[in-house]
Chain A
Amino acid sequence: MTKYHPLSELFKARLREFVREPETIFWVYAFPVLLAIGLGIAFRNRPAERVFVDVQQHVSAEEVAKSLRSKPDFVVAIHSKPECLDRLRLGKSALVVIPGDPYTFLFDPTRPESVLARQQVDDALQRAAGRKDPLPTADRHITEPGTRYIDFLIPGLLGMNLLAGSMWGVGYVIVDMRVRKLLKRFAATPMKRSHFLWSALGGRMAFMIPEVVVILGTGVLLFGFPIRGNIFAILFLSLLGAASFAGLGLLVACRAQKVETVSGLMNLIMMPMWLLSGVFFSPERFPDILQPFIKILPLTHFNYALRAVILEGASLSSQFWRLALIAAWGGISYFFTLRWFRWN
């Protein structure tokens, strides 16, 4: 008679369950790709920002407007004083120019585009008045692969997806089994508890590889995303990240008796990391007070390490401390999972 090995049967069951569920396939593979495409297009070849400038009615208003219109980025209109104020408040214009002596710029200094507009309008007016710049300067725009927003985004999306996939694919799945009393049913058999946990982890590792391929592949094929690092280093890093995040998934699943509880716990863990850990923009943008917190989150270090390895071709050993921190999160999670896990 055929001998069945429990670990491989549990693993096969997990794989079958996963591939037979079209919804999860969508969320794990299609959703990040659509997000990459959407954001990639939104931030690609952005036309030069147009600057809306109003000139307050005045005898020389027409003249001022004419000299500003010579620059193609400016959209210039002349309005009465109250109209100008209203339009500024409503954000329809970034800046109001009040001709006179001196020329006055009316704007809100906390609006970045207003500050920018003030600089540019001032420049244009000074030049029109005959200013000669003593230092000749020139602009060159960088849009080559490796420095664009999409290049920043793709590794971040991969990090986000590995975290979400591990949390849902391990945490949610296990709590769902507990709700269905299937965990209790398993516990009533001679099944080794470790086999069950290994199969959950093994399943997660198996689904992770296509995730990496699909997300990075989309970047390479659609956006010319540059992969400068060693492919095995990237895979190793992804494996480490997914395993560590799976530990977090197990941890939230330890005791939760309802899928609502575990969904809440997972969001509590994932949301701050998606926001703070440098998925969509650099974590350095957040205030100093948040930095110590940001620096202990595993996804922060995962994203930094992944960007370094992929975009700069950094070696894994150069990322040692980041890897160690990610591994420590995983280790601590597994330790407490083994102590706290409930089968019924």
Chain B
Amino acid sequence: MKSSSPAEPVISCRGLHKQYTGRGGSVNAVNGLDLEIRRGECFGLLGPNGAGKTTTIEIFEGLLRPTSGDVEVLGMRWGDNDNELRQRIGISLQETRFTERLTVIETLVLFRSFYRNGKNPADVMDAVGLREKAKSWIGKLSGGQRQRLAVACALVGDPSLLFLDEPTTGLDPQSRRQLWDVIRRLQQEGCTVLLTTHYMDEAERLCNRLAVIDHGKVIAMGSPGELISGLGGEHMIEFALANGTGALDDLFAGLPSVKEVRSDVNGIALTVSEPHIAIPALLGRLQSQKLELARLSTRQASLEDVFVGLTGRHLRDDEISSTE
């Protein structure tokens, strides 16, 4: 049985590698990953498409075998006593299509039957807000309701560790917030949650700690606050010039309180610690160079900025256009 020492990690992995070999050569989906996830926390894996999030989580779930590396889950290892481990974890895969002609309650009862101990399927339906859909066929549910059903199936075995692979992808903001509430409540009940996402706001609001993953490696780890303050400044100034952007980065790098300068097709972004100092300095510099301003805005720095700062790329391909 598990020891209840809070210091003992729920998941720990060292030197995790996963290589896929296919016709087009081999892909290092996970490339030397070290992680420790603590009891009771909500831990997020944040990264762009193809970063290796699903591969990592499926190795933890015992569904994939790593090429090399060491993984311990709930103090056990896959291959020793898999059934015992499976009794204690709950899983929602990135993409599962449940049988369309079964109802919500029938599906939950089916999943409940696989576990020695578990929750009452009706209670789980309440928890995810699917009570009134109990007798509906799954084929008739909306996308968000299906996602909540997937989470419900993960919960029905009363897990102490929950894996959620992109639980809110494709949902409208309302449904996403509902799912966040479900996850927060679980965490309050003492469940450890590992989730993957490529929504930075989700990671910021939901996760106690997170690892930013790119190309199968952890490129930053910590609480959302720590990661953002790691930028050196917690504010962003974004502006564009009337006659386009040249190679002007150097012009602004030396301004007081400016930590970093980035430019892309939409304009220039400055990471600053104190906007009330940086803005007058910026305006002065523009005037002295006879550059005309087309737009200027300031905002709080986000995990997106952390990611862009680390990789020079955006988390999602649509991010660049959506900032306008």
Contact = CB atoms under 8 A, between A and B. Distances in A.
Interface of A: 1, 4-6, 8-10, 12-13, 16-17, 20-21, 177, 180-182, 184-191, 344
Interface in B64-121: 83, 86-87, 91, 93, 95-99, 101-102, 106, 109-116, 120
Contacts of B115: 189-190
A181 B110 contact: no
A4 B112 contact: yes
A191 to B, nearest CB: 4
Given A189-B86, A190-B83, A190-B87, A184 B63 contact: yes
Nearest to B112: A4
Contacts of A186: 114
14 contacts: A9-B109, A9-B110, A9-B113, A10-B113, A16-B101, A17-B101, A20-B137, A181-B93, A184-B63, A186-B114, A188-B93, A189-B114, A189-B115, A191-B114
- Of A5, A184, A188, most buried by chain B (CB within 10 Å of CB) is A188
Top 5 closest pairs, chain A to chain B, by CB? A4-B113, A180-B97, A9-B113, A20-B101, A190-B86
Contacts of B166: none
Contacts of A188: 61-63, 86, 91, 93
Contacts of B93: 181, 184-185, 188
A189 B96 contact: no
Given A9-B109, A190-B83, 6 more contacts: A17-B102, A20-B101, A188-B86, A190-B87, A190-B114, A190-B157
Nearest to A1: B120
B163 to A, nearest CB: 9
B29 to A, nearest CB: 15
A191 B91 CA distance: 13
Contacts of A9: 109-110, 113
How many chain B residues sit at the interface, stated as a range, is 20 to 34
Interface of B: 61-63, 83, 86-87, 91, 93, 95-99, 101-102, 106, 109-116, 120, 137, 153, 157
Given A9-B109, A13-B110, A182 B102 contact: no
A174 B115 CA distance: 22
* Interface class of chain B by DSSP: loop
A180 B96 contact: yes
A16 B102 contact: yes
B71 to A, nearest CB: 15
B120 A185 contact: no
A182 B95 contact: no
Contacts of A12: 106
Contacts of B95: 181
Contacts of A5: 113
Nearest to B137: A20
Contacts of B113: 4-6, 8-10
Contacts of A16: 101-102, 106
Contacts of B120: 1
A182 B106 contact: no
Contact of A6 (B86, B97, B114): B114
Contacts of A190: 83, 86-87, 114-116, 157
A147 B254 CA distance: 103
A240 to B, nearest CB: 29
B109 to A, nearest CB: 6
B165 to A, nearest CB: 11
A21 B83 CA distance: 34
Contacts of B62: 188
A4 B109 contact: yes
A325 B110 CA distance: 37
Contacts of B99: 13, 17, 177, 180, 182
Contacts of B83: 190
B120 to A, nearest CB: 6
A16 to B, nearest CB: 6
